[in-house]
Amino acid sequence: MSRVSIVTPAALALERRLVLQFLGVGSLAATGLASGFVPLARAAEQSLAWPKNAFAQKNEAAALAALFEKPIVVPSDKVSLDVPEIAENGAVVPVSVTAALPNVTAIALLIPENPFTLAACCQIPEGTEPAISCRLKMAKTSDVVAVVQADGKYYSTRKQVKVTLGGCGG
Amino acid sequence: MASTIRVRAVAHGESTEVQSLIQHPMDSGFVKDKDGKLIPPHYIETVTFDWNGKRVFTAFWGPAVSKDPYLKFSFKGGKKGDTLKIGWSDNEGKSDETMATIL
């Protein structure tokens, strides 16, 4: 039941029906109080819990440790990261990640110079291609780090983006 | 009611490419309004995509995702006419959900 204990109120709103299959209504209150956090890796299969602890971290190692279970991250050219060299507007930085690896289960995007390091984390179920594109905010010039979880191992690629106008402080 | 979610899902042979655009302020909590007061953080935390009852994508977002977030991914399977269900929920407990037909 440890997985259930990390369901956030927001996730409950979205998947109340699913949760009710697991819990009696009475234990919902207890769920809200529980602060235990299970790393994403352990709950990767069908977790719906937003990894609150990981998003609160202010450096790369802490964010990864909160997100994954004992991650040993190795740089890999199998992970390709497509970011602009210079971003004129840090509020909208297009980021694409593609992993040429089998059995990818998650892709995380981190921006170490932002106030909070972790920007986004996507779960890739079986059958979904390990390639995503999105747009992120950058406070200032920073590396963008893509970490891919594949077969329980972790691979990363980083690239610096020069930001001329920050996107977090306005 | 217009949905906050716009989705374009196109089947290409064996896989389906999904692009979505969600209307949301994605306030980071670090920006001040015109009176110099901090705008509190307000951002989408979770986005899910389901095809035929199968979860094909989950995104966990923090406040560093840009306003009106864009997302692109592809999954194997899906054919023209199939339905894709997309839902999001944010840190204030708001949520929205929509259905899209694969083109």
Within-domain flag for A15: yes
Question: How is residue A85 written in tokens?
Answer: 């060299």
Looking at chain B, which residue has its C-alpha nearest residue A116?
Answer: B64
Q: Does B43 touch chain A (CB under 8 A)?
A: no
User: What ipTM did this prediction achieve?
Assistant: 0.91
Is beta strand B44-51 parallel, antiparallel or unpaired with respect to B83-90?
Answer: antiparallel
Q: Answer whether B72 sits within 8 Å of A168, measured CB to CB.
A: no
CATH number at residue A87: 2.60.40.2470
Number of domains present in the structure of chain A: 2
Give the structural domain span for A138.
58-163
Within-domain flag for A42: no
- The Cα A116–Cα A56 span in angstroms is 6
pLDDT 10s digit of each residue in chain A, 170 long? Answer: 344 444 444 444 444 444 334 444 434 334 433 333 444 444 444 456 888 888 998 999 999 998 988 889 999 999 999 999 999 889 999 999 999 999 999 999 999 999 999 999 999 999 999 999 999 999 999 999 999 999 989 999 999 999 987 665 54
Question: How is residue A57 written in tokens?
Answer: 């971290």
Closest CA to A127 of A149, A158, A104: A104
User: Of A128, A134, A144, which to mutate for an interface test with B (greatest number of B Cβ within 10 Å)?
Assistant: A128
Looking at chain A, which residue has its C-alpha nearest residue B25?
Answer: A91
- The Cα A4–Cα A133 span in angstroms is 30
Within-domain flag for A38: no
- The Cα B79–Cα A34 span in angstroms is 42
- In chain B, what are the domains? 5-32+39-101 (2.60.40.10)
